[in-house]
Structure 1
Amino acid sequence: MTTINLIATAPMGLEAVVARELKELGYDNLKVENGRVRFQGSPIDICRTNLWLRTAGRVLVEMAEFPARTFEELFEGTKAIDWPEWIPEDGEFPVNGRSQKSQLTSVPACQSIVKKAVVEKMKERYGTEWFHEDGGKFVIEVSLMNDLALITLDTTGAGLHQRGYRRVSTEAPLRETMAAALVQLSRWRPERPLYDPFCGSGTILIEAAMIAWNIAPGLRRSFNSEGWPLVSNELWEEARNEAFDAVKDDVPLQIAGSDIDPYAIEIAEAAVRKAGFSKEIKLSVLPVAKMKPQGEYGVIITNPPYGERLGDDNEAELAIRQLGLSSLHLPTWSFFAITPTKSIEHYFTRAADKKRKLFNGRIQTDFYQFFGPLPPRK
C-alpha cells in the first residue's frame, strides 16, 4: 500500500486552521471542505497526524465514496471495499452512521446494511460464518449527505481533544482543540507574556505551553489504530520517538492566569501538574478587575463567562465590562476573547481589529481580536 486517503475532521469554523497545521506538518494537495480536510499519506502518517494535530477532531481513513439512493446501492458499494486488508478476522467493527438531505433517512437501517456488507466481504476472505469481534477496534462510519455515502474508518478513538492532562473539568469548559486554535489564531509567541483572567481549568494556558515547547498533543494517550495490521507498533514507536526528539523544553515561558473561583484554580493546578508545567504556569484566585499581568507587549487570550454557557447574563456582562476597563491600563497588550456577547466592543471603546465566527460547542460565538503594538525588534 503506497497512498491512503485520509480525513482530518474539523470543528465548524476551524477548517482553515486544521489545513494550516497539516501544511506545517508537510502535507500538501489538501482539500478543505465543511467540517473536514482531506489529504493523503501512508500508514505512518496515521500515527503522526494523530500525535501532532492540535485543532482537529479525529483522523479518518476514507474507505470509499459513492452514490447511495437505495439500500442495494449502499450494500454493494460497501461490499466492494477490501475490508480484510484493514480488519483481521478477530477485529471488532461497530458501525456508526448519520444522514442529511438523503433518501436513506433511517440511520439504524443504514448502519445495519453497512454491517451486513462488511460481514459478507469478510466471509469471502476468511471462510467463516461467524466473527467473534474480540480483537482490536475498527470503528466504521457511514455518512450520507445529498445521497452520497462516505465510508470511513476511525483511527483515533476518543476525540483528539482528550489529551490526558485534564481529569476534572470546570463548568462549561473550553475544549483543548478549541483552546489550541485560539492560541494559534492570536499573535502570541513564546517570547511574549501570556495571561488568561478567566482561566477556568487552565486549558488555554496549557495548550499555549505545549505549543511553545513543541510538545505533540497526543503524546500522552493511546489511539484505536495502535496494533492495526497496517499500522504496526513499530510505526507508532517511530512516530513517538520523533515527537519526543522534537520537544524544546528549554524555552522560557511567561504564562499566568487567574479566576475568581477557587475551585476552578484547584482544577487548573491539577491539570497544569499533570501536563508538566507546574513551574512554568502561575495561577491565582483573583477577579478580573484585580488581575495583574506582568510585563509589556503581552497577550491576553480568554474565554469569558457568558449567559448561554453559565446562565447568568448580568454576571457575564459585568465580566466583559471589567475586561474592557482592564485593557485601558495595559496599552501595550493585545486582547483576544471568544464570546457571543456583542457588547464587548462597546466596553473596549473601539471596534475589534478582526472578528472570526467560531462555534464553542453548539454556541455560535465570535473570536474578537484587539491588537496592541508589536514588541520592538531586538
Structure 2
Amino acid sequence: MQQLKLFATAAFGVESVVARELKRLGYQDTHTDNGRIFFTGNYEAICRANIWLRSAGRVYVFIGKFEARTFDALFEGTKALPWEEWLPKDAQFPVTGNCVKSTLMSISDCQAIIKKAVVERLKKVYGLEVFPETGPRYRIEFNLLNDVATLAIDTSGDSLHKRGYRTLAYTAPMKESLAAALLMISRWSPGRPLIDPFCGSGTIPIEAAMMARNIAPGLERDFDSQSWPIIPKTVWYRALDEARSLIKPPDGERIIQGYDINPEAISIAQYHARQAGVQDSIHLQIRDVADLSSKYKYGFIVTNPPYGERIGEKKENARLYRTMGEVFRRLDTWSFYILNADPQFERFFGKKADKNRKLFNGGLLCYYYQYFGPKPPRSEKTDASGGPEGEE
C-alpha cells in the first residue's frame, strides 16, 4: 500500500505529547516542525490516527511545500502539485489558511489564488470548465511562513477535540484534547487514583476514564476522509473494529473522581459521562475543595482551577489558591498537576512547583504547575496499557 506523508497538528506545548501518541500507534519516523508532527503511513494510518489521537488538533495529508514571495509563485507552485491524486471531479475543496512573517500577508487573496490554481490543474485532468463541488469535502489548508508555502488536505473535518460526548454548554470549558494532554504530561496512568476538584463539566475525569477503558476518542464521530473514494471502506471498517475490540470493561472501583462546588456543573458532568459511556468509571459529586480528602494514600490531582483578570476575581482566586495549598499539603504523598494563568499562583499556593510548562487554554497563556509526590511501592503501581499497540 502507498506510503503517504502525513502530519498531525498540536497546540503550543503539546507537540511532544502528540509525537509520543503517534509512536505508540506504531509510526516511529516522526519529526516536529511549527506545531506539525510529520509521520509516514498508508491509508490505514489516516484512519487510525483520526480514531486514536487524543491530544492532536487534526490529521492532514501533506501535498507540497515551496517558496512563494509573489502571487505568481504561489499560483504556479500550487498548480504544479498533484491535486488529482486526491480530488475527484465532484470534490468540494474550500481553501483556508494563514500567513505569518511573509511577503504575502492577505489571507483572502492567497485563498483565491490557491483555489484558482487547483481549478486550473484539475481542468486539464478532468476536461471540465466548471466543477460542481457536490461530492466529499477536501478542505485545503495553506500555511505561509517566512515566504514558504505548505499545502495540505485536512482528513479530519471537525477538530479532533470534538469527541461527540460534550453536548451541553458550560462556562469556559477546556478542550478535550488539552485535558487528555494534561493527563499524559502528568505521570498518571490508568489504575491510579485521580481527582479533579474543579471538574466543571467533567472533561478531565471523562478523558481519564476513556483512557482507563481504552476507548478511542474518535470512535463515535465522523471524519471528512471517511467519504473519500480513494480510501477503501474496508480500511475504515477494520480500523473501527480494532478500536471497538480493544475497549476494556469498567474495573468496578471508581478511582477517577470529579468534584465541583456548582451543582449545575456536576449535573452536566454526569450527563457527559453517560454520553461518553464511562459513567460507571467515574465518581462525580458536589464538594468544596476545602473539604477534599481521599482514602487512598497515593494518587494524582489534575485540575484547572478558576482564574480571572478582574480585580475582584484576582483577590477571590488568591484566597482559593491559599486554601488549595493548605488542603493539598494534607495529601502529602499525592502528586499535583495544576493548570493556571495566574503568574502568582505558586506564591499563593505556598510552594514552588517542581516543574512547569507553558500551555495555552482558550488562547490564554497558562502554566502547568507540576508537583511530584513520592513513588508508591511497586505493589501499588499498575500498567498504563492502552491503545492498539499498548501505551507506556
For 2:226, what is the secondary structure of its paired residue?
coil
Alignment check: 8 A CA contact 1:93 1:140 kept: yes
Aligned length in residues: 378
- CA offsets 1:149-172 (integer angstroms, 9 cap, x no match): 111100001100000110023211
Percent sequence identity is: 50
- Structure 1, 314-323 or 354-363: larger mean CA deviation: 314-323
**Equivalent in the alignment of 1:78:** 78
Alignment check: 8 A CA contact 1:161 1:176 kept: yes
- CA offsets 1:340-359 (integer angstroms, 9 cap, x no match): 22333334433211111111
Cα separation, 2, equivalents of 1:358 and 1:83 = 36
**Equivalent in the alignment of 1:191:** 191
Aligned 1:85-164 pairs, distance under 5 A = 85-164=85-164
The answer as to 2:279 corresponding to 1:273 is no
Aligned 1:156-235 pairs, distance under 5 A = 156-235=156-235
Alignment check: 8 A CA contact 1:95 1:140 kept: yes
Alignment check: 8 A CA contact 1:193 1:296 kept: no
**Equivalent in the alignment of 1:303:** 304
Q: Which amino acid aligns with 2:101?
A: K
**Equivalent in the alignment of 1:50:** 50
Alignment check: 8 A CA contact 2:322 2:350 kept: no
Alpha-carbon offset, residue 309 of structure 1:
9.6
Unaligned runs of 5+ in 1: none
Cα separation, 1, equivalents of 2:298 and 2:84 = 57
Cα separation, 2, equivalents of 1:190 and 1:217 = 16
**Equivalent in the alignment of 1:312:** 313
RMSD: 1.6
Alpha-carbon offset, residue 250 of structure 1:
4.5
**Equivalent in the alignment of 1:244:** 244
Q: Which amino acid aligns with 1:267?
A: I
**Equivalent in the alignment of 2:339:** 338
**Equivalent in the alignment of 2:16:** 16
- CA offsets 1:87-111 (integer angstroms, 9 cap, x no match): 1111111111211111111111111
**Equivalent in the alignment of 1:38:** 38
Cα separation, 2, equivalents of 1:222 and 1:142 = 23
Cα separation, 1, equivalents of 2:353 and 2:177 = 24
Evaluate the alpha carbon distance shift between residue 322 and residue 244 of structure 1 in structure 2; reply closer, same or farther with a 3 A threshold: same
Cα separation, 2, equivalents of 1:373 and 1:12 = 29
Alignment check: 8 A CA contact 1:171 1:310 kept: no
TM (norm. structure 2) is: 0.93
Alpha-carbon offset, residue 142 of structure 1:
1.6
Alignment check: 8 A CA contact 2:210 2:278 kept: no
Q: Which amino acid aligns with 2:61?
A: V
Cα separation, 2, equivalents of 1:138 and 1:370 = 44
Alignment check: 8 A CA contact 1:172 1:310 kept: no
Cα separation, 2, equivalents of 1:163 and 1:293 = 30
Q: Which amino acid aligns with 1:190?
A: P
Q: Which amino acid aligns with 1:300?
A: I
- CA offsets 1:197-232 (integer angstroms, 9 cap, x no match): 100011000111111111111001000111212222
Q: Which amino acid aligns with 2:199?
A: C
TM (norm. structure 1) is: 0.96
Q: Which amino acid aligns with 2:73?
A: E
